With several copies, the nearest count.
Chain A
Amino acid sequence: MASFLEFKNISKGYPGVQALSDISFAVEKGAVHGLMGENGAGKSTLIRILSGDQSADTGEISLDGSVQHYSSARDAFDAGVIVIHQELQLVAELTVAENLWLGRFPAKAGMIDFKKLVSDVSQKLEAIGIDVDPRIKVANLSIGQRQMVEIAKAVMLDARVIALDEPTSSLSSRESEILFALIGKLKAQGKIILYISHRLDEVFRLCDSLTVLRDGKLAAHHASLAKVTRDQVITEMVGREISNIWGWRARKIGTERLKVEKLGGRLLPNPVSFDVRSGEIFGFFGLIGAGRSEMARLLYGADHRHTGTVTIDGVAVGGNNPRHSIEAGMVLCPEDRKFDGIIQGRSIEENIAVSSRRHFSPLGILQPGKEARLADRFIEKLRIRTPSRKQDIVNLSGGNQQKVILGRWLSEQGVKVLVIDEPTRGIDVGAKAEIYNILYELAENGMAIIVISSELPEVMGISDRIAVMCQGRIAAVYDRDAFDERKILAAALPDRSAAAVA
């Protein structure tokens, strides 16, 4: 069978970075093609070129043998290419249905046919098993729900090529299954699917063929995954072997550090209580919209607490202002890096030092040398791929941005409680292992760590204890020796009869 989609000698450079150099490969019809590589390897750049959003410096893309010359996202649509970008691209003020139709509203003489708008979307969402009301505004959805909406875009248009850039980065396994089923259907219809992910399991399960990028170059191309092993792919990506990425090791767990009692807020109507001991890594698992992120924000004082007390080492922490929490020794690494994490327009160095610089700025006057050293340390430790610490953070790849945010919190001093929401969202395998190691080290030094994750293997791999949340309450808590994938999943699933709400 002839190649349907072909990249020919694609190169793309940004000031200081050669994002892609001379990439060529082809994908066949009815195939799911994986794209892997470290953070900053150039995956998203390639997809962006495919989507018409960016243009390549050299090289060309051909579809069905004809070379494409599109210059905007619109042209790419018209050519039958649809791309789900890594950063969510939704308009918060519009409803779910409007977002899904954006750019091609059903209309007569410019007037929108609202009936069709909603009913079509309802049908499509139902058909693929996404449980969201199409009439509510996207602003009212949790990150995970937004990601599902984004995925639904893939089927709204009868595209020939569908590219998905890390679609599962904040989905738990249940929602991921919905996506996989969807991909299966699309594949059967003869579509061509490009699939980017840092999760090896997914790639091996879904993909027929695989391309690995490294430093913007083509590191490997596998026309079939039959004889390829995971370790081989990791080596191709990272350039070295990683034996066991979880690397959990037993450590001494101390006395109670963080005590949370009856914590409740607007999005968390049923108060939750729990405690975490020093040296303990406490995992939170749940399906999307389970309320974990909201719990973390209330804990940290980012949102208004309606009820509850939080104490660290017996001292109460005042709510409603993150500053109080930081001063009491608790930090939160938020889940939504675009809205709550990165400080746009500022350098990596400033993004890292924004909170911790107060420890080394006497009288409020900066010591630039110290900040530079701090930044360099984390750039190296977290393997942040960038030409310079002065680089504007918006120019980093998604995973590298995430690492910078982690660096911000890991550089804080005197932290007693660390709360991280989706710590490895979009982070490559190599760096993941690195980050887990840092967490273990911190825990060994007596820190209490709360890890929120939608990736069950991750929660099970690194936690000492797991709380499972479901519909805003803690449904179950398991100790490490009682971890069982099926039990945890069962606890996370809402009671079918009560599952009406989105």
Chain B
Amino acid sequence: MSVSLKKLLLGEQGLVVIFALAFIVVAVFVPNFLTERNMLGLLQSVVTIGIVACTMMFCLASRDFDLSVGSTVAFCGMIAVMASNATGSILLGLIAALLCGALVGLVNGVVIARFRINALITTLATMQIVRGLALISSDGRAVGINDPNFYQLALSKFLGIPAPIWVMLVLFIAFGFILNRTVFGKNTLAIGGNPEASRLAGVNVVSMRVWIFALQGFVCAIAGILLASRITSGQPNAATGLELSVISACVLGGVSLAGGRAAMAGVIVGVLIMGIAENVMNLLNIQAFYQYVVRGLILLLAVLLDNLRSGAVGRRG
């Protein structure tokens, strides 16, 4: 391997480069992969993960952890549908859902940051509580949408690309900007890197953490609304297990669970790796049980490659 190639692969953007190579390989060898239809389908299939990953990145970067995202997505989707049905106004429904999402996040944040309760346990608890609420409010059944205009949220297109994908792209850009260019982003990284030092430097660690969780809840609500619109109903059982997929996507993308490290480009790649793996396995008609094994191996491979890279860069601390 020539030196400059090695540098490219193992440099800061290593994962992105590796991903690009893998993408080319897949595009060449998997039939039907690189068609416009499949690309749009692929992107739509990662909308929920992608949107939630934006804020999960902040959450992990500040050394927190959120297991309640899946429940929140389902709950907010239900609220959007039920409130729209009840009030007859889609707008009111959306507002209600966004508020509920932010509220769930706020509760998480306050309990975790102010009462200093372990984030894993807290969000595991809210995960169950919120799921319970979603089930109770609908008696465990899906709720249909009265106003067909609600479907348009997911169906409408701009430049040939469906709205949910646009929303995801906009959020990618927005949160990438927030992470790198704003005080909020830098403070998030600082808190994750060294909470004690950040506090002593005058960063309001508690309120930062509360904000991050509230934002997470809000963004989950967006994902929930789009999901409800796409599946044309509010489903209390939707998005189970989402939390692990989202966290994996983030970690794959180089976000450190020990806090302090995150990059939007990495997270996007992480999300895409997860999506492409599913997509390709289905295109290749891999048997269900083998899909488990393949999915696991891809995860391992991706971190292994990324690790080679960071191992080569090397760090002491």
Contacts and interface: CB of A to CB of B under 8 A. Distances in A.
Interface of A: 14-15, 51, 53, 72-74, 77, 83, 85, 89-94, 98, 102-105, 107, 110-112, 114, 139, 266-267, 300, 302-303, 321-323, 326-327, 332, 334, 339-346, 350, 354-355, 357-358, 361, 364-366, 368, 392, 394-395, 408
Nearest to A109: B182
B194 A357 contact: no
A90 B197 contact: yes
B202 A355 contact: yes
Given A93-B189, A364-B184, A395 B200 contact: no
Interface residues of B, number: 29
Contacts of A114: 181
B37 interface: no
B204 A112 contact: no
Contacts of B245: none
B186 A345 contact: no
Contacts of A91: 189-190, 193-194, 197-198, 260
26 contacts: A53-B200, A89-B194, A91-B260, A92-B260, A93-B189, A94-B193, A102-B202, A103-B201, A103-B202, A112-B182, A267-B316, A322-B201, A323-B204, A334-B197, A340-B200, A342-B197, A343-B194, A344-B193, A345-B192, A345-B193, A346-B193, A354-B186, A354-B190, A354-B203, A355-B201, A366-B186
Contacts of B256: 345
B129 to A, nearest CB: 31
Contacts of A303: 316
Given A90-B194, A91-B260, A322 B186 contact: no
Contacts of A51: 200
A466 B198 CA distance: 30
B315 A139 contact: yes
B314 interface: yes
A102 B201 CA distance: 6
B317 interface: yes
B313 interface: yes
B261 A361 contact: no
Most chain A CB inside 10 Å of its own CB: which residue of B183, B200, B203, B204: B200
A333 B204 CA distance: 17
B194 A266 contact: no
A110 B187 CA distance: 11
Contacts of A395: 315-316
Interface string B230-261: 00000000000000000000000000100111
B309 to A, nearest CB: 13
Nearest to A78: B202
Given A89-B197, A111-B183, 17 more contacts: A15-B313, A92-B260, A92-B317, A94-B189, A102-B198, A105-B183, A107-B182, A110-B183, A111-B182, A344-B317, A345-B189, A345-B256, A346-B260, A350-B186, A350-B190, A355-B203, A366-B181
Smallest CB-CB A-B distances: 6 pairs:
A103-B202, A103-B201, A345-B260, A89-B197, A91-B193, A343-B193
A318 to B, nearest CB: 13
Contacts of A341: 197, 200
B196 interface: yes
Most chain B CB inside 10 Å of its own CB: which residue of A91, A321, A354: A91
B6 interface: no
Nearest to B202: A103
Contacts of B203: 102-103, 323, 354-355
Nearest to A395: B316
A221 B97 CA distance: 64
A85 B200 contact: yes
A48 B199 CA distance: 13
Most chain B CB inside 10 Å of its own CB: which residue of A90, A322, A368: A322
Nearest to A142: B316
Given A90-B194, A91-B190, A93-B193, A326 B202 contact: yes
A343 B202 contact: no
Contacts of B194: 89-92, 339, 342-344
B201 A111 contact: no
A72 B203 CA distance: 10
Contact of B186 (A74, A98, A267, A394): A98
A128 B197 CA distance: 23
Interface string B168-200: 000000000000011110110110111011111
Contacts of B198: 91, 102-103, 343, 354
Contacts of A364: 182-184
B6 to A, nearest CB: 14
A477 B189 CA distance: 43
A322 B317 contact: no
B317 A139 contact: yes
Contacts of B189: 91, 93-94, 345-346, 350
B202 A94 contact: no
A79 to B, nearest CB: 12
Contact of B202 (A267, A322, A366, A394): A322
B148 to A, nearest CB: 40
A15 B313 CA distance: 8
Nearest to A110: B182
Contacts of A343: 190, 193-194, 197-198, 201, 260
Given A139-B317, A354-B190, A355-B202, A339 B196 contact: yes
B314 A14 contact: yes
Contacts of B315: 139, 392, 394-395
B203 to A, nearest CB: 5
A346 B194 CA distance: 10
Contact of A365 (B182, B193, B201, B202): B182
Contacts of A92: 193-194, 260, 317
A344 B260 contact: yes
A60 B194 CA distance: 30
Most chain A CB inside 10 Å of its own CB: which residue of B197, B201, B203: B201
Given A91-B193, A343-B190, A345-B260, A332 B200 contact: yes
B202 A89 contact: no
A391 B256 CA distance: 18
Contacts of B204: 72, 74, 321, 323
Contacts of A394: 315-317
Nearest to B207: A323
Interface in B276-317: 313-317
A104 B190 CA distance: 12
Contacts of A354: 186-187, 190, 198, 201, 203
A339 B317 contact: yes
